Protein backbone atom coordinates (compact mmCIF):
# COMPACT_ATOMS: atom_id res chain seq x y z
CA UNK A 1 0.00 0.00 0.00
CA UNK A 2 1.37 3.38 -0.98
CA UNK A 3 1.00 5.64 2.03
CA UNK A 4 -0.28 9.15 1.33
CA UNK A 5 -1.19 12.02 3.63
CA UNK A 6 -4.87 12.25 4.42
CA UNK A 7 -6.73 14.95 2.49
CA UNK A 8 -9.93 15.07 4.54
CA UNK A 9 -10.44 17.35 7.52
CA UNK A 10 -12.31 15.36 10.17
CA UNK A 11 -14.86 16.58 12.66
CA UNK A 12 -13.11 16.46 16.04
CA UNK A 13 -15.43 17.10 18.97
CA UNK A 14 -14.12 19.53 21.59
CA UNK A 15 -14.07 16.70 24.14
CA UNK A 16 -12.64 14.03 21.83
CA UNK A 17 -9.49 13.57 23.90
CA UNK A 18 -11.64 12.92 27.00
CA UNK A 19 -13.57 10.29 25.09
CA UNK A 20 -16.90 8.65 25.77
CA UNK A 21 -17.64 5.71 28.09
CA UNK A 22 -14.58 4.99 30.30
CA UNK A 23 -12.53 7.58 28.42
CA UNK A 24 -12.65 5.73 25.08
CA UNK A 25 -11.64 7.86 22.10
CA UNK A 26 -13.94 6.94 19.21
CA UNK A 27 -13.23 7.65 15.54
CA UNK A 28 -16.20 7.07 13.21
CA UNK A 29 -16.00 6.64 9.45
CA UNK A 30 -18.92 7.06 7.10
CA UNK A 31 -18.56 5.72 3.58
CA UNK A 32 -18.58 8.85 1.45
CA UNK A 33 -20.06 12.32 1.14
CA UNK A 34 -22.56 12.60 -1.74
CA UNK A 35 -22.38 15.76 -3.81
CA UNK A 36 -25.32 18.07 -3.13
CA UNK A 37 -27.02 20.03 -5.89
CA UNK A 38 -25.02 23.07 -6.88
CA UNK A 39 -21.77 21.97 -5.23
CA UNK A 40 -19.10 22.27 -7.91
CA UNK A 41 -16.02 21.90 -5.68
CA UNK A 42 -13.44 19.40 -6.90
CA UNK A 43 -11.42 18.98 -3.70
CA UNK A 44 -13.72 19.72 -0.72
CA UNK A 45 -11.34 18.62 2.03
CA UNK A 46 -13.64 19.88 4.76
CA UNK A 47 -16.90 18.30 3.61
CA UNK A 48 -17.05 15.67 6.40
CA UNK A 49 -16.63 18.32 9.07
CA UNK A 50 -19.07 20.64 7.30
CA UNK A 51 -21.83 18.05 7.13
CA UNK A 52 -21.43 17.05 10.78
CA UNK A 53 -21.30 20.71 11.87
CA UNK A 54 -24.54 21.29 9.97
CA UNK A 55 -26.20 18.42 11.84
CA UNK A 56 -25.03 19.55 15.28
CA UNK A 57 -26.12 23.12 14.51
CA UNK A 58 -29.52 21.78 13.44
CA UNK A 59 -29.86 19.97 16.79
CA UNK A 60 -28.81 23.04 18.75
CA UNK A 61 -31.71 25.08 17.36
CA UNK A 62 -34.18 22.30 18.16
CA UNK A 63 -34.41 20.79 14.67
CA UNK A 64 -35.76 17.31 14.01
CA UNK A 65 -32.86 14.79 14.00
CA UNK A 66 -34.73 12.71 11.43
CA UNK A 67 -33.92 15.27 8.76
CA UNK A 68 -30.38 13.84 8.84
CA UNK A 69 -31.07 10.11 8.50
CA UNK A 70 -27.45 8.99 8.39
CA UNK A 71 -26.27 10.90 11.46
CA UNK A 72 -29.41 10.43 13.56
CA UNK A 73 -29.44 6.66 12.99
CA UNK A 74 -25.73 6.40 13.71
CA UNK A 75 -25.83 8.37 16.96
CA UNK A 76 -28.94 6.51 18.17
CA UNK A 77 -27.15 3.16 17.75
CA UNK A 78 -24.03 4.31 19.55
CA UNK A 79 -25.82 6.17 22.35
CA UNK A 80 -28.00 3.10 22.97
CA UNK A 81 -24.91 0.89 23.09
CA UNK A 82 -22.82 3.22 25.26
CA UNK A 83 -25.48 4.26 27.73
CA UNK A 84 -27.56 1.09 27.67
CA UNK A 85 -30.67 3.14 26.96
CA UNK A 86 -33.62 1.71 25.06
CA UNK A 87 -35.39 5.05 24.58
CA UNK A 88 -34.90 7.51 21.74
CA UNK A 89 -31.85 9.69 22.29
CA UNK A 90 -32.55 13.28 23.32
CA UNK A 91 -31.23 16.34 21.55
CA UNK A 92 -28.77 16.97 24.40
CA UNK A 93 -27.53 13.37 24.32
CA UNK A 94 -26.88 13.59 20.59
CA UNK A 95 -25.03 16.89 20.86
CA UNK A 96 -22.89 15.65 23.75
CA UNK A 97 -22.11 12.47 21.84
CA UNK A 98 -20.82 14.31 18.77
CA UNK A 99 -18.85 16.70 20.97
CA UNK A 100 -17.02 13.65 22.36
CA UNK A 101 -16.07 11.77 19.17
CA UNK A 102 -14.37 12.30 15.80
CA UNK A 103 -15.95 11.71 12.39
CA UNK A 104 -14.88 11.61 8.76
CA UNK A 105 -15.50 9.60 5.58
CA UNK A 106 -13.48 6.75 4.10
CA UNK A 107 -13.68 8.02 0.52
CA UNK A 108 -11.84 11.33 0.14
CA UNK A 109 -13.79 14.12 -1.54
CA UNK A 110 -17.32 14.26 -2.90
CA UNK A 111 -19.03 11.35 -4.63
CA UNK A 112 -21.38 11.49 -7.58
CA UNK A 113 -23.63 8.49 -7.09
CA UNK A 114 -21.39 5.60 -6.02
CA UNK A 115 -17.64 5.87 -5.34
CA UNK A 116 -15.54 5.10 -8.40
CA UNK A 117 -12.82 2.45 -8.46
CA UNK A 118 -10.23 5.22 -8.24
CA UNK A 119 -11.95 6.72 -5.19
CA UNK A 120 -12.08 3.34 -3.47
CA UNK A 121 -8.36 2.93 -4.17
CA UNK A 122 -7.65 5.97 -1.94
CA UNK A 123 -9.46 4.56 1.09
CA UNK A 124 -6.53 2.64 2.59
CA UNK A 125 -4.23 5.67 2.69
CA UNK A 126 -7.03 7.88 4.03
CA UNK A 127 -7.84 5.38 6.76
CA UNK A 128 -4.21 4.99 7.82
CA UNK A 129 -3.63 8.74 7.86
CA UNK A 130 -6.61 9.40 10.09
CA UNK A 131 -5.75 6.62 12.55
CA UNK A 132 -2.18 7.81 12.89
CA UNK A 133 -3.28 11.41 13.41
CA UNK A 134 -6.18 10.83 15.83
CA UNK A 135 -4.98 7.68 17.65
CA UNK A 136 -8.44 6.45 18.67
CA UNK A 137 -9.16 3.55 21.00
CA UNK A 138 -12.15 2.41 18.93
CA UNK A 139 -12.62 2.77 15.18
CA UNK A 140 -16.09 2.21 13.70
CA UNK A 141 -16.76 2.01 9.96
CA UNK A 142 -20.40 2.38 8.94
CA UNK A 143 -20.08 0.76 5.53
CA UNK A 144 -20.02 -2.91 4.58
CA UNK A 145 -18.43 -2.06 1.22
CA UNK A 146 -15.90 0.24 2.87
CA UNK A 147 -14.93 -2.58 5.22
CA UNK A 148 -13.57 -4.51 2.23
CA UNK A 149 -11.07 -1.72 1.51
CA UNK A 150 -9.57 -1.46 5.00
CA UNK A 151 -5.81 -2.22 5.12
CA UNK A 152 -4.30 -4.80 7.45
CA UNK A 153 -1.83 -2.43 9.07
CA UNK A 154 -1.30 1.20 10.08
CA UNK A 155 2.39 0.74 10.84
CA UNK A 156 4.95 2.80 8.94
CA UNK A 157 6.61 -0.34 7.54
CA UNK A 158 3.32 -2.06 6.76
CA UNK A 159 3.98 -4.87 9.22
CA UNK A 160 0.89 -6.62 10.55
CA UNK A 161 2.66 -7.82 13.68
CA UNK A 162 0.33 -7.39 16.63
CA UNK A 163 -2.71 -6.89 14.41
CA UNK A 164 -5.20 -9.69 13.99
CA UNK A 165 -8.85 -10.51 13.59
CA UNK A 166 -10.85 -11.48 16.65
CA UNK A 167 -12.96 -14.62 16.35
CA UNK A 168 -16.30 -13.04 17.27
CA UNK A 169 -18.05 -16.42 17.29
CA UNK A 170 -16.33 -17.33 20.57
CA UNK A 171 -17.57 -14.37 22.57
CA UNK A 172 -20.60 -15.66 24.44
CA UNK A 173 -22.15 -16.72 21.15
CA UNK A 174 -22.48 -13.10 19.98
CA UNK A 175 -22.30 -12.70 16.22
CA UNK A 176 -21.95 -9.53 14.25
CA UNK A 177 -25.28 -9.21 12.38
CA UNK A 178 -23.73 -9.57 8.91
CA UNK A 179 -20.27 -10.76 7.89
CA UNK A 180 -18.53 -8.44 10.31
CA UNK A 181 -15.24 -8.61 12.04
CA UNK A 182 -13.24 -7.01 14.78
CA UNK A 183 -9.59 -6.15 14.24
CA UNK A 184 -6.81 -4.78 16.42
CA UNK A 185 -4.56 -2.23 14.77
CA UNK A 186 -1.12 -1.99 16.34
CA UNK A 187 0.77 1.26 15.82
CA UNK A 188 4.55 1.65 15.70
CA UNK A 189 4.55 2.39 19.43
CA UNK A 190 2.45 0.65 22.10
CA UNK A 191 -0.87 2.18 21.04
CA UNK A 192 -3.52 -0.27 19.87
CA UNK A 193 -6.97 0.46 18.46
CA UNK A 194 -9.94 -1.87 18.09
CA UNK A 195 -11.80 -1.81 14.78
CA UNK A 196 -15.34 -2.89 14.00
CA UNK A 197 -17.63 -2.52 11.00
CA UNK A 198 -21.36 -1.81 10.83
CA UNK A 199 -23.81 -1.51 7.95
CA UNK A 200 -24.49 1.87 6.37
CA UNK A 201 -27.24 3.59 8.44
CA UNK A 202 -29.23 4.54 5.33
CA UNK A 203 -29.99 0.84 4.90
CA UNK A 204 -31.38 0.45 8.42
CA UNK A 205 -34.70 0.95 10.12
CA UNK A 206 -35.51 0.90 13.81
CA UNK A 207 -37.08 -2.48 14.33
CA UNK A 208 -36.11 -5.67 16.16
CA UNK A 209 -34.36 -7.28 13.23
CA UNK A 210 -30.74 -8.45 13.10
CA UNK A 211 -29.92 -6.04 10.28
CA UNK A 212 -31.90 -3.13 11.69
CA UNK A 213 -30.47 -0.27 13.69
CA UNK A 214 -31.55 -1.93 16.93
CA UNK A 215 -29.96 -5.19 15.80
CA UNK A 216 -26.52 -3.57 15.69
CA UNK A 217 -26.63 -2.27 19.27
CA UNK A 218 -25.44 -5.55 20.92
CA UNK A 219 -22.52 -5.75 18.47
CA UNK A 220 -21.44 -2.17 19.22
CA UNK A 221 -21.83 -2.84 22.94
CA UNK A 222 -19.48 -5.83 22.56
CA UNK A 223 -16.95 -3.71 20.67
CA UNK A 224 -17.03 -1.14 23.47
CA UNK A 225 -16.43 -3.86 26.03
CA UNK A 226 -13.45 -5.19 24.08
CA UNK A 227 -12.10 -1.64 23.70
CA UNK A 228 -12.27 -1.06 27.46
CA UNK A 229 -10.28 -4.24 28.02
CA UNK A 230 -7.77 -3.34 25.32
CA UNK A 231 -7.29 0.13 26.78
CA UNK A 232 -6.84 -1.12 30.35
CA UNK A 233 -4.91 -4.35 29.78
CA UNK A 234 -3.36 -4.00 26.34
CA UNK A 235 -5.13 -7.10 25.04
CA UNK A 236 -8.57 -8.61 24.42
CA UNK A 237 -9.65 -12.01 25.75
CA UNK A 238 -12.18 -13.99 23.74
CA UNK A 239 -12.92 -17.41 25.21
CA UNK A 240 -9.52 -19.01 25.78
CA UNK A 241 -7.73 -16.79 23.26
CA UNK A 242 -5.82 -13.58 23.96
CA UNK A 243 -5.34 -10.96 21.24
The whole-number average pLDDT for the span 74-80 is 93
Query: pLDDT band at residue 120, thresholds of 50, 70 and 90?
Result: very high
Distances (CA, A) of 139 to 37, 103, 168, 182, 227: 31, 10, 16, 10, 10
Q: What pLDDT score does 57 carry?
A: 97
DSSP string, 45-63: TTHHHHHHHHHHHHHHTT-
Judge contact between 214 and 137, C-beta under 8 A: no
Enter the DSSP assignment of 217: H
Examine the pLDDT at 129 and tell me if it is beyond 50: yes
Judge contact between 154 and 192, C-beta under 8 A: no
> Which domains does the chain carry?
11-32+42-242 (3.40.470.10)
Q: Is the pTM of this model over 0.75?
A: yes
Alpha carbons 177 and 233: distance in angstroms, whole number = 27
Question: Could you tell me what percent of the chain has a pLDDT over 70?
Answer: 88
DSSP string, 176-200: -SSS--EEEEE-SSS-EEEEEEE--
Query: Alpha-carbon torsion 103, 216, 61, 109, what sign?
Result: positive
Tens of pLDDT, residue by residue over 132-179, are 999 999 999 999 899 999 999 999 888 888 787 776 655 555 667 766
Q: What pLDDT score does 210 carry?
A: 56
CB atoms within 10 A of CB 15: 13
Q: What pLDDT score does 168 carry?
A: 64
Tens of pLDDT, residue by residue over 109-118, are 899 888 999 9
Tens of pLDDT, residue by residue over 180-233, are 788 899 999 889 999 999 888 877 765 555 557 777 888 899 899 999 999 999
Amino acid sequence: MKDQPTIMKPWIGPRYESGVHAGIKVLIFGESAPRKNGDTRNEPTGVSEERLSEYVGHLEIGGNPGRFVFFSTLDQILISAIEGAASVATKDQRIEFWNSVAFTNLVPGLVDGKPSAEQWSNVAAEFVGQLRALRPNLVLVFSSEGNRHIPESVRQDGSTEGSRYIDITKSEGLLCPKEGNAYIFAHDDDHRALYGNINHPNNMRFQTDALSAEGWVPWVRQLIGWTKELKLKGHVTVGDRVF
